[in-house]
Amino acid sequence: MGRQENDAGNAPAVTRNLALIRNEITEAAAGIDEQQLAVLASQILHADRVFVAGAGRSGLVLKMAAMRLMHLGLTVHVAGETTTPAVRSGDLLLVASGSGTTPGAVRSAETAAAAGARVAAITTDAQSPLAETAGAVVVIPAARKTDHGSAVSRQYSGSLFEQVLLLALEAIFQTLWDSADRPAEELWLRHANLE
């Protein structure tokens, strides 16, 4: 009984924080330039192959996007995996870093550009080294993970960027799926069956 009472005592805080996160996501997502997302969607659609690269939680979000793009029938690779081939001309590297300064993300972008691939970046900073390397940039108006106590977000360490990154990539997937006019059953045939 004591544990249930203690758990119930957290309900007001959970409710308050759910509203905080929902409101921050709504505001940040509304601040994305939809034309930037449309350009990225077009680049993904017209790439020979799509590569994704990102560190930490941003990297995890990109892996989720890679899965959805694979469901559409695109050839997609996650940078750093043992079966990922070399990037080349005609390919697109989609890379995300809230700060735009993550060393691995910037190096990946520079390598892809040097190989003749297109680079698309998603970041909070349009002036960052990552953005400067990219031909297409989507800016998410969120705090960087090092902006502790930021007026942009009360959440911890880049959470808002990662949450809105997921929404932006889901919007691109939905847009590409709508334009492909393929039934969900067709996409489902590509879903992993070795789980």
Please, are residues 143 and 125 in contact by the beta-carbon 8 Å criterion? no
What pLDDT, in 10s, does the model give residues 83-124?
999 999 999 999 999 999 999 999 999 999 999 999 999 999
Q: CATH class for domain 2-188?
A: alpha beta
Please, are residues 130 and 100 in contact by the beta-carbon 8 Å criterion? yes
Residue spans per domain, the chain = 2-188
Average pLDDT rounded to a whole number, residues 175-188: 94
Q: How confident is the model at residue 9 (pLDDT cuts 50, 70, 90)?
A: confident
Q: How confident is the model at residue 152 (pLDDT cuts 50, 70, 90)?
A: confident
What pLDDT score does 60 carry?
A: 98
Point out which residues pair with 137 in neighbouring strands: 121
Region for 122 from its dihedrals, namely left if φ exceeds 0, alpha if ψ lies in -120 to 50, beta otherwise = beta
One DSSP character per residue, 99-122 reads: SS--HHHHHHHHHHHHTT-EEEEE
Q: Which of 5, 110, 132, 162 is catalytic?
A: 162
Active site residue 162: yes
What pLDDT score does 150 carry?
A: 66
Please, are residues 28 and 140 in contact by the beta-carbon 8 Å criterion? yes
Q: How confident is the model at residue 23 (pLDDT cuts 50, 70, 90)?
A: very high
